[in-house]
Amino acid sequence: MDNLDTDPSADEIAALIERSPAFDKIQSLSALLSEIPNGRRVILASAFRALGARKWYFEKESAERKFLPDYRTQLDAAKLLLSYSDGLPTQTTLNVNADLGKKSAEVDSEAQFDNALASSPALRDSLRRRLERAESAHKSGQLRRKLPPP
């Protein structure tokens, strides 16, 4: 790629990607980064710059711009850097779709739910907490949300 022989800035890289037809053939971000000299370094430098991100607001009384740390941007940059240096923690999503009706086609669903319940301590804890909240709401006469009639 010509025009990238020197150390490009992030803005120069973006402008070149937008107008160069040579980048149309590249199928992945990894391949794109391999075509840009120091592309990874530019990304890393941007993430480190974002650790010190600030935002400003205009104060009417003093007619000045005041600067505050932009904590959201700083935390996002920290997450990005830590996720690639330390690795992301194991993330688990448990989706349980259970219809406990006794329709013949759904008997398997009940068995699947029973198996999921038997094999998942987290699911049992979650259901136990929900039951405790429901019992408490029932005893106090306070329901958290109104349900439509069946």
Domain boundaries, the chain: 1-50, 51-90, 92-145
Question: Do 39 and 30 form a contact (C-beta atoms < 8 A)?
Answer: no
- pLDDT for 5 equals 47
- pLDDT for 52 equals 92
Q: Cα–Cα distance between 97 and 108 in angstroms, integer?
A: 12
For tokens 């408490």, what's the residue? Answer: 136
Rounded to two decimals, the pTM is: 0.45
Mean pLDDT of 63-81: 90
Residue 104 has pLDDT above 90, yes or no: no
- pLDDT for 144 equals 58
Q: What percent of the chain has pLDDT over 70?
A: 75
Q: Give the tokens for residue 97.
A: 């779709």
At residue 68, φ and ψ (nearest 5 deg) are -130, 155
Look at 68-72, 74-78, 145-149 and tell me which has the smallest mean pLDDT: 145-149
- pLDDT for 143 equals 64
H-type alpha helices, the chain: 10-19, 29-35, 39-50, 71-85, 107-119, 121-140
For the four alpha carbons of 7, 9, 11 and 17, in that order, the dihedral sign comes to positive
The band of 53, judged by pLDDT with boundaries at 50, 70 and 90, is: very high
- pLDDT for 55 equals 92
